[in-house]
Amino acid sequence: MLSAFLIALREGVEAALVVGIVLVYLNRTGRSNLVRWVWGGVLAAVASSLAVAIALERWKVSEDGFEGVLLLVAAVFVVTMIIWMNRVARHLKKEIEARVEKHAAKSELSAGFGLALFVFLMVVREGAELALILRAVELSTEGLAVWIGTVLGLGVAVAVGVFFFQGTLKISLGRFFSATSTILIIVAVQLALTGIHELSEAMWLPSSKVEMAYVGPIVRNEFFFFTVILGAAALLVLREWMAARGRAAENVPDAAERRRLEWERRKQRRWAFASAFTCTAVILILAAEFAYTRVSATTEARSIQSEDGSVRIPLAEISDANLHVYSVDASGTSLRFLVIRKPNGSWGTALDACLICGTAGYRQDGSNVVCRNCASAIYIPTIGEAGGCNPVGVPSRMDSGALVIDVSKLAEARSRVSQ
């Protein structure tokens, strides 16, 4: 939610600045009759951005490789957004006013269409970027949280734009964009790492057990990036408070007033330090959790005996929605395999291992099956199918109220898996 909030806030403020500069310039130069054209361009841009968002939402990306590409594209958009704003921020007001003056000098109809098109292109650029980036963010977090963060971010952006141009809000836009740029770089890193992870899981990129072990838990744990972003924000606020209070105290000649400002600065510094310390502590706790998850013992497997070269598991034993892990001895080698009932009533049967992460195995986390090595959440209906970090499938059959698996098939599948 925090990533969505920050992206929506940044894109919304950029769009609000463009519209605000145009409106202020038209009112200042006595051309308020063209304001309605500006709002027409804004409405058209909002409608087009919503259309893009709906189209992306209906495009149900389900392949890991395509998800990875979308995430990497979104990361590139975040970086280009930061570069573009930092490059043009100093001259943005002057350039927009020059464009507006050029259009406004024409006849009213031509000026109106020109202004509407100019505002439309400027705003729809922000809206389309926002839709694409948020669609990518939605792939790695809860969809509802993304939309809540987006609505809050856009709401705050509109308020910032209104209050800023009314003179109610006194903020340094340079510092605002500097701070949000720093935080959005972290968001871009998250998107890029998640994209690489998805491409590796789809085997579009060379994958290794080590790479999946380190990258997977990071990109799959939303709280990790939440705390990193929160910690970065706290540090940036600490820097600004220290600089602002330091300047204020130095410029006040009265000793009593200076002492009061020093006291306020110390109080704010304590709050800032406490915030940064808390975020750091949470990050360390999450890091310890990652390490524990990776080194924790595998799920205890129930040992069963083979009969005539196959194992038989009563259907009544596996008819729930839980992950069941078994082991069987095959010529002195212990073969671990798992069974789970799928939502359609069939059973997924596979080794407790995959081709990417080897024999690290899987665990159940609520309604999800999660790889112990890379923390990938496995889509239960695909268990037993080839591809990605899915456990290596093993064929099975039903016979007289039992699920039957040939031990030779388990051994054959196990021979394809590295340790």
* Distance separating the N- and C-terminal Cα atoms of the chain: 38
Pairing between strand 362-365 and 347-351? unpaired
pLDDT at 297 over 50: no
Q: State the sign of the Cα–Cα–Cα–Cα dihedral 194, 200, 201, 202.
A: positive
Mean pLDDT of 121-148: 70
Strand intervals (E) in 63-161: none
Q: What is the pLDDT of residues 192-249, one digit of tens each?
A: 877 787 777 676 777 666 666 667 656 655 555 665 666 666 666 666 656 655 555 5
Q: What is the pLDDT of residues 367-404, one digit of tens each?
A: 778 888 777 778 788 887 776 678 889 999 999 899 99
Q: Which of 138, 137, 147, 14 is nearest to 82 (CA)?
A: 14
Cβ neighbour number for residue 374 with a 10 Å cutoff = 27
Distances (CA, A) of 21 to 40, 94, 105: 16, 9, 17
pLDDT at 6 over 70: no
Q: Where are the domains of the chain?
A: 2-202, 221-296, 302-414
Mean pLDDT of 344-358: 86
Residue 56 identity (one-letter amino acid): L
Residue 95, classed as helix, strand or coil, is: helix
pLDDT for residue 410: 92
Name the fold adopted by 302-414: Rieske Iron-sulfur Protein (2.102.10)
Q: Which of 126, 91, 98 is nearest to 114 (CA)?
A: 98
DSSP 373: T
- Look at 315 and 240; give whichever has higher pLDDT: 315
Q: Rounded CA gap, 286 and 141, in Å? A: 17
